[in-house]
Structure 1
C-alpha cells in the first residue's frame, strides 16, 4: 500500500528528502533533498515508491502532509537516515540527531530488500 505525499511547511523550515525505492527504477537508491520553509510556500511531491524523511532547521517547525491513501502500519517500511550508500548531506551530526526508536533501528538500503 504505497502512499504518495505532498509536503508543505506551515512554520519554520526543513530539509526534506525523498529516496527512490522502486527496485526497477534507474534512479533506485538515489535521493533528492530540498529546503522547504513557511515563507516560500514551496511544496514537495513524494511519489509512491519513495522513502521520505526530513530534518527540522528551525525551532517550532510545523509540517503538513497531504496523502493519497490511508496510513497502513502493516505496509510501513523504514530506511536508515544516514546510510552512507545513499549519501544524504544532513545538516546535523549523528550525535545530535533526535530519532525515534524505529528510526534508530532502521535497516540500511542494502538490507532492506525489495520494497516496491
Structure 2
C-alpha cells in the first residue's frame, strides 16, 4: 500500500490529479498529511485540509495525526499501540516504511 505525503493544498491538488488517473481499486490508499515534519490532522486542525474529509467519505483511508490515531484506529490493520508510540511525522514515516508501505511525496 502507498502512503502519499501531502504537505500543502497545492500538493493535494496534484494528488487529486494523480488519483483521477489511478484504477478504482488503488484509490483507497492511505493519505498522510505532513507539515514541517509533523503529521497534521484535519480533525484536530481542519484548515486548510477540510476538504480531505470528502475523500474519506469516497472510500479512501486517511492517516491522521499521532494524537488522534489511537482514537480513530486508522488504518484499521494496525493496533492502537503501534500509533501511540509514534512521536512525530518523520518517525511515523520510518515506521510505515518498515511495515512495507510505499511512501511517496506529491
- So what's the TM-score if we normalise by structure 2? 0.30
Q: Which has the larger radius of gyration?
A: 1
- So what's the TM-score if we normalise by structure 1? 0.28
Question: When you count helix as a share of all residues, which structure comes out higher?
Answer: 2
